[in-house]
Chain A
Amino acid sequence: MFGQVLATEFRKLHHSKAPWATLAVLGLMPLGIALFMWIVREPGRAAELGLLGTKANLAGLEATWPEYFYMLTLIIGVGGMLLLAFIVAYLFGREYRDATAKNMLALPVARHWFALAKLAVAAAWWMALVVIVLIEALGIGLAMGLPGFSAALAGTGIANVFLAAVISFLLAPVISWIAVWSRGEVAPIAFSLVMLALGNLFGRTGWAEWFPYSIVPLLIGVVADPVDSLPAASYVVLTGTFAVGIAATLLQLRFADNAQ
């Protein structure tokens, strides 16, 4: 039955603009990074064109491959948490916005299959975005002729991007729970915005490895120097968050009132 439910969940995206919108948003990011890199590399020409030369220099950026991968990981990690929240909120919350949840929940299909299928669609959607944007970013970086490229660096950079993407996804089931609990799309997105802010805050208190939403910033080095590898505690916290999120979503769908 899971296969049928998964197929119908993909079918529900047919003609939808949401996947294209997320691709457009994330796809613009490497172009933005490239623009900053170009401004840093050509500050005189950037100033002539009235671009953000001064601010870019103040940011302490270098137009190199290591810096480029750092920025890419930052976007996939931190920006991805927000974009994934939108994706998950859309997949779960639209059923309540369009009042189709009631049609879905009184079918001869166990409700957990719907939740798991939606999370599988979110994972596929998110990974497709990450792969497309990674290919785009590599193409742009090579076209710009940034210095410092090596196979080892590319391997590490790509691995970090995927690690950030996977960590972001581990937080997705909590968003799905908020969506089914609140029966809509606004609360989960608001929740993820608050968590991003809290993640930044906790990261500075030294508890970053214990707070799920601080772990990606910890990995990337947003709040401190980037770590070479995450502490084991962080993996336990992330796995626990993933499991609790899934359990909460399934229990909410099974036992709570689910009318619009």
Chain B
Amino acid sequence: MPDTAVSTRALVKRYRDVTAVDSLDLDVRRGEIYGFLGRNGAGKTTTIRMVLGLIRPSSGDIAVLGRRIRPGETKVFSKIGFLVETATAYPNLTVRENLDIQRRLTSSPPRAVADSIGLLRLDAYADRRAGQLSLGNKQRLALARALLHSPELLVLDEPANGLDPAGIVEIRELLRSLADERGVTVFMSSHILAEIAHLADRIGIVHDGRLIEESSRDELAAKARAFATEAYTPEEREQALLTLDLERYFLARTGDRPVSGSSSTAGDA
């Protein structure tokens, strides 16, 4: 079994005069959470679409879980859960019906629908039509769909889109536990630095379609700290800390966890 879950070699995607992905060599190791960080338009989504076989590379190779991605490849997708860009579902169908379609097409057992609804805390919305869901719950539905067939690899494009702070923390913890407890590989893209910093074991920074840096989170954190010490003003550091404080306070007030450093619960806080 290869120790890379996703591997690209000299991957290129051109749209007429625009090179969206340029000679990308990428290795996502099995069992790790790989953060694919880049600005809007850096080539993250194009890379993910190629990995999933939704668009064809102009040149280069992609291998996923040991299988080369080429037209007609389907077998490997039984081991991949994914969320690409926007969370979408059949709007006229309920959450349960949407997931049942996924279950049938991935030959998953009937209980998988209820399990994924429970995992993403969608019980209260199970019989609501997808078109009537909030953006955050649509995102949960898309994640439930991605997880329904217990994939070995999760390919997630901006998984925190539309989620409130509590939802972001919840999904972060869910992904961490999937990686730690079940050995699921997570290849996730984001342009939100905090998301990647919280979750990823290794981080690749893509810019203008090229991978310009790749390090472990600790290495990147060390570089960032050294850089921040020089570049940040005291006000900026204060602002960053305030953001963290606000997140923790918000979670406490909205009932997800006790206020740190006190015995009071969210409701009491």
Contact = CB atoms under 8 A, between A and B. Distances in A.
B89 A100 contact: yes
Contacts of B52: 102, 106
Given A98-B88, A100-B88, A259-B49, A110 B78 contact: no
B36 to A, nearest CB: 17
Contacts of A110: 72, 74
Nearest to B155: A106
Interface stretch (A11-19, A80-88, A147-155, A205-213): A11-19
B194 interface: no
Contact of B88 (A99, A106, A256, A259): A99
Interface of B: 49, 52-56, 71-72, 74-78, 80, 82, 84-86, 88-93, 97, 100-102, 104-107, 129, 145
Contacts of B93: 11-12, 14-15
A11 B92 CA distance: 10
A103 B74 contact: no
Interface of A is mostly: loop
A104 B84 CA distance: 12
A234 interface: no
A12 to B, nearest CB: 6
A259 B105 contact: no
B221 to A, nearest CB: 33
Nearest to A94: B90
Nearest to A110: B74
B74 A14 contact: no
A251 to B, nearest CB: 10
A8 interface: yes
B55 A14 contact: no
A107 B54 contact: no
B77 A107 contact: yes
9 contacts: A4-B105, A12-B93, A15-B92, A99-B86, A106-B54, A107-B74, A108-B107, A110-B74, A255-B56
Contact of B106 (A11, A108, A259): A108
Interface in A244-260: 254-259
Interface string A160-196: 0000000000000000000000000000000000000
A237 interface: no
Nearest to B76: A108
A5 B82 CA distance: 20
Given A100-B90, A102-B54, A106-B52, 8 more contacts: A4-B105, A15-B92, A99-B85, A103-B89, A106-B54, A106-B84, A111-B74, A258-B54
Which of A100, A105, A106 has the most CB atoms of chain B within a 10 A radius of its CB? A106
Contact of B55 (A15, A100, A111, A258): A258
A20 to B, nearest CB: 12
Nearest to B54: A259
A202 B170 CA distance: 63
A99 to B, nearest CB: 4
Contacts of B49: 102, 259
Nearest to B100: A11
A110 B75 CA distance: 9
Contact of A257 (B55, B77, B89, B105): B55
Contacts of A103: 88-89, 102, 145
Contacts of B92: 12, 14-16
A106 B100 contact: no
Contacts of A102: 49, 52, 54, 84-85, 88
Given A98-B91, A103-B145, A257-B55, A5 B105 contact: yes
Contacts of A8: 101, 104-105
